[in-house]
Amino acid sequence: MTASHQPDSRLAKLRIAVVDDNAAMRGIVRSVLSAFGIVAVYEAADGPSALEILRAERIDMLICDWKMKPVDGLTLVRTLRDPDKSPCPLIPIIMLTAYAEPSKVKEARDAGVTEFLVKPFAAEDLYKRMQTIVNRPRPFVRTKMFFGPDRRRLATGYQGPERRDDAAPLS
Amino acid sequence: MAQRERPIEIINPPNMLKAKLGGPLPAADDALMKRAEAALDGLRQNFNDWLGEEVTKLEGLMRTVKTEGMQGEAGEALFTCAHDLRGLGSTYEFPIITRLAASLSKLIETPEQRASAPLALIDAHVGAIRAAIIQNVRDDKDPVGKALAEELEARVVALVGERS
C-alpha cells in the first residue's frame, strides 16, 4: 500500500483508497485522481490489504474492483457494510469493474455499493460519480437483510447548482 | 413491484464530505478534464507493453487449460484474465480487444459454462486478441477485425444466449 502527494486543490482534502488486483489499473486510477488534485491515494491489491488501510487511515471514499483474489470486491463491500465487522460501514464505495450487465449492477447495489462505474472508464465519469457522492449522498437503509445506501434513488444525472440548498424561505 | 423489507430504518448521516470540501463539488470543467487527459498521456507510452503482458498471460493460461481442462482453477484463471482484458483493452487503446475479451468472458463466466465451452472457440478468441496486437487492429473500423469479432460473438450467443 502506498500514498502519493500532488499539488493542492479543493479535492486535495480527500483521502481515497483504490483496490484493484491489476497494478496498471491502480496506476491509471491514481493518475486520474492526482490530476483532480487529490493528495492522498492509497492502493491495495486485494480485499484484506484494503481492510488494513481502512482500519489504519481515515479514508473518505473507496474505489473497488470486483474480480479479485482471494476476496472479491463484492465480498469486501459486504464486509464493509456489516456494522459489526466494518471499520467504516458508511464509507462511499465506487465499484469500478469490467462487468457491465444490468444484473451485475443490481448485484453490486444489493451488496451496498454506492456508485457503479464500468471499465474502461472516462475521467469525467469518475468525477461525476464522486460529485454525486459529495453533492447528493444517499440515505442509508437498515433492514434485517440489508445495510447500505438506499437502492431506490433515481439517477437523474443532474449536475447543476443545488438551488434548494440556498433557496430563500417562503414567508 | 417488490415489497420493501420491514422494518426499515432510514439513516441520514451528516454530509461530512461536503463539509470537508467546503461545499458541493462543481461540475467538471474543461481544464480539469484536460489535466486528467494529460495525466493519462504520461502513461500512454506504457500501454502497448502492459497490454502485451496481459495477452501473454492469457496465452499462458490457454496453454494450461489445454492440458488441465477448463474446470477448476485453470479455467477460472482464464476467465479472470479475459475479464481483466475486457476492462483494459479500450483503456490501452485497443477497443476491439475489449470487445473480443467481453465475448470470451461471456462464454466462460461460470463453472457450468466452462465445462461445456468448446476449447476451439475459446482458443479462437485468444488467437484473435493476439492477432489484433500483431496486426495493430485497434477497433472495428477494420473490416476483418469487425467480421471476426461479429463471428465470434455470434457463436458465443448461439451457445450461451444473450445475457443481461
Is residue A96 domain-resident?
yes
> What percent of chain B is predicted at pLDDT more than 90?
83
DSSP letters for chain B = -PPPPSS-EEE----HHHHHHTSPPPPPPHHHHHHHHHHHHHHHTTHHHHHHHHHHHHHHHHHHHHHH-SSSHHHHHHHHHHHHHHHHHHHTT-HHHHHHHHHHHHHSSSHHHHHHS-HHHHHHHHHHHHHHHHTT--STTSHHHHHHHHHHHHHHHHHH----
Q: Which amino acid is at B157?
A: V
Is residue A4 domain-resident?
no
CA distance A170 to chain B (A): 23
Q: Are strands B9-11 and A147-149 parallel, antiparallel or unpaired?
A: unpaired
Q: Which pLDDT belongs to residue A23?
A: 92
Tens-place pLDDT, residues B7-35: 889 999 999 999 999 999 998 889 999 99
Is residue A2 domain-resident?
no
Q: Test A24 with B46 for CB contact under 8 angstroms.
A: yes
Is residue A95 domain-resident?
yes
Tens-place pLDDT, residues A92-143: 999 999 999 999 999 999 999 999 999 989 999 999 999 999 999 999 999 9
> What percent of chain B is predicted at pLDDT more than 70?
95
**Which one, of B121, B101, B115, lies nearest residue B70 by Cα?**
B115
> Would you say residue A166 has pLDDT above 50?
no
Q: Which pLDDT belongs to residue B153?
A: 97
Is residue A1 domain-resident?
no
Split at pLDDT 50, 70, 90, the class of B151 is very high
What residues make up the domain containing A145? 10-166
Split at pLDDT 50, 70, 90, the class of B5 is low
Residue B37 with chain A: CB contacts under 8 Å = 123
Split at pLDDT 50, 70, 90, the class of A61 is very high
Mutation target for B interface from A14, A26, A29, A36: give the one with most B CBs within 10 A. Answer: A36
Q: Rounded to whole angstroms, how far apart are CA atoms A23 and A43?
A: 9
Residue among B13, B35, B105 minimizing CB distance to A140: B13
ipTM for the complex?
A: 0.85
Tens-place pLDDT, residues B65-95: 999 999 889 999 999 999 999 999 999 999 9
Q: Residues A80, A62: contact at Cβ < 8 Å?
A: yes
Q: Which pLDDT belongs to residue A20?
A: 96
* CATH number at B47-160: 1.20.120
- Going from the C-alpha of B131 to that of each of B55, B61, B66, B124, B145, the distances in angstroms are 10, 17, 20, 10, 9
CA distance A9 to chain B (A): 10
Total residues found in chain B within this entry: 164
Tell me, yes or no, if A32 comes closer than 8 A to chain B by beta carbon. yes
- With a CB cutoff of 8 Å and minimum separation 6, the contacts of B61 are B74, B77, B78, B81
Q: Which pLDDT belongs to residue A37?
A: 93
User: What is the number of structural domains in chain A?
Assistant: 1
Is residue A171 domain-resident?
no
> What percent of chain A is predicted at pLDDT more than 70?
84
Split at pLDDT 50, 70, 90, the class of B4 is low
- Take residue A112 and report the three cell numbers written for it: 451496498
Is residue A3 domain-resident?
no
CATH at residue A54: 3.40.50.2300
Q: Rounded to whole angstroms, how far apart are CA atoms A92 and A70?
A: 23
Largest alpha-carbon pair distance within chain A? 59
Q: Rounded to whole angstroms, how far apart are CA atoms B62 and B128?
A: 13
Tell me, yes or no, if B2 comes closer than 8 A to chain A by beta carbon. no
Is residue A5 domain-resident?
no
